Amino acid sequence: MKTILIPTDFSDASKNAIDYGVKLAKEKNAKLVLLHVFHIPVVATDDPVLMPSFEQIEDDSQLFLKETENKLRAMYGFTNPIESISKPGFLIDEIDDLVKEKNLDLIIMGITDAGKLAELVISSNSIGVIKKINCPTIIVPSGAVYRPIQTIVFACDIEHTESLSAIGQVKQFVNIFNARLMIFNMVKNTEDKERERVLFHEKFAGLFAGVEHSINITEGDDLITAINTFIDINNADLLIMLPQKHTFFWQLFNESSTKKMAFHSHIPLLAIHE
């Protein structure tokens, strides 16, 4: 893990993601790239409105980034390289360009409101990055505080976890953090539970050879609550999910709006692509 990108809009949520990211970067001796993408405001009115110029918006953006960089140096004794980038445009497009240009290893972003995963659903930038950008991305809930990652929960669906590349990335992160891995799945009934346990052992025993891991199948009908409970019971530090269609992740972010999202976990979510 050599280079970590943290987009920021200077909100409390993004400041918390920076706090989490700088501690992770310091532990892993990684470079930080801070990114602020700004828009040129467009006013649809015939009335004269005093708007800041492009130069003023750009200057303010660069100033805020420099202040952030100085704060990280002073507060955390962070001596690793920090690159601050201020650009006009659309956040997801600019992140996509940086992933290709700088060979980024990880993106860290924040979400709002006490770590409710429900808030992630309406956080278009975070969801857009997870779904569209081919780079591992950690989403940090607003209540999350960094702690060394010792236990990782990998929530996956045996029928749709086919990518060896994704499995390889999961193993890589487990090894980076020297963590134990807890593979998690939920089924509807007892009969399926035993069948899934056998399938998981058959499929993952070889794939995760050499990695400390356990396979955990729970029975229930509320996926979000099941994951939340499992994380709390095992005091997990990081949740990994795969954001392709038909997986747990896809279900999570396509829940009916009438069903409350009861996922209040304070731990970050790492999304890994195929």
User: Band of the pLDDT at 195, cuts 50, 70, 90?
Assistant: confident
90 and 68 together in one domain: yes
Query: Does a structural domain hold residue 204?
Result: yes
Quote the DSSP letter at residue 259: S
pLDDT in tens, 94-118: 999 999 899 899 999 987 654 444 4
- Are 177 and 91 members of one domain? no
Q: At what angle do helices 91-102 and 124-132 cross, to 10 degrees?
A: 40
| C-alpha distances in Å from residue 52, one per residue of 11, 66, 70, 159 | 20, 20, 26, 53
Question: Do residues 214 and 266 both lie within one domain?
Answer: yes
Domain end point (choices 91, 121, 140): 140
Whether 77 and 125 map to the same domain: the answer is yes
Residues 78 and 180 in one domain: no
Domain count for the chain: 2
- pLDDT the model gives residue 262: 34
Domain end, chosen from 140, 168, 191, is at 140
pLDDT at residue 42, as a whole number: 60
The tokens describing 151, both together, are 């236990």
How far is the C-alpha of 56 from the C-alpha of 207, rounded, in Å?
53
Query: What CATH number is given to the structural domain containing 32?
Result: 3.40.50.620
Domain that holds residue 12: 3-140
- Residue 15 is assigned to a structural domain of this protein: yes
Residue 69: is its pLDDT beyond 90?
A: yes
What pLDDT was estimated at residue 137?
93
> Which of 140, 170, 188 is at the close of a domain?
140
In a domain, residue 64? The reply is yes
Report yes or no on 145 lying in a domain.
Answer: no
Q: pLDDT: is 205 or 36 the higher one?
A: 36
- 166 vs 196: CA distance, rounded Å: 20
Is 168 found in the same domain as 237? yes
Mean pLDDT of 177-193: 86
Classify residue 14: in a domain, yes or no: yes
Give the residue-averaged pLDDT of 125-134. Answer: 79
- The residues pairing with 5 across neighbouring beta strands, listed in sequence order, are 33, 107
| Domain assignment of residue 233, yes or no | yes
Of 60 and 263, the structure prediction assigns the larger pLDDT to 60
Residue type, 47: D
* Residue with tokens 């509807």, as numbered in its chain: 188
Q: What's the pLDDT score for residue 263?
A: 42
Cα–Cα distances in Å, from 24 out to 29, 32, 150?
Answer: 8, 10, 13
Residue 97, token pair as written in the block: 């360009």
Q: Is the pLDDT of residue 186 over 90?
A: no
pTM metric for this prediction: 0.86
Run of H or E including 74 = helix 54-76
Any domain includes 146: no
Answer yes or no: is pLDDT of 260 > 60. Answer: no
Cα torsion 22, 146, 106, 235 to 10°: value is 170
Regarding whether 171 and 103 lie in a shared domain, the answer is no
Residue 23 lies in a domain: yes
pLDDT value at residue 68: 94
Residues 124, 178: one domain? no
Mean pLDDT, to the nearest integer, of 164-176?
Answer: 90
Per DSSP bridges, beta strands 137-140 and 269-271 are antiparallel
- Same domain as 162, residue 111: no
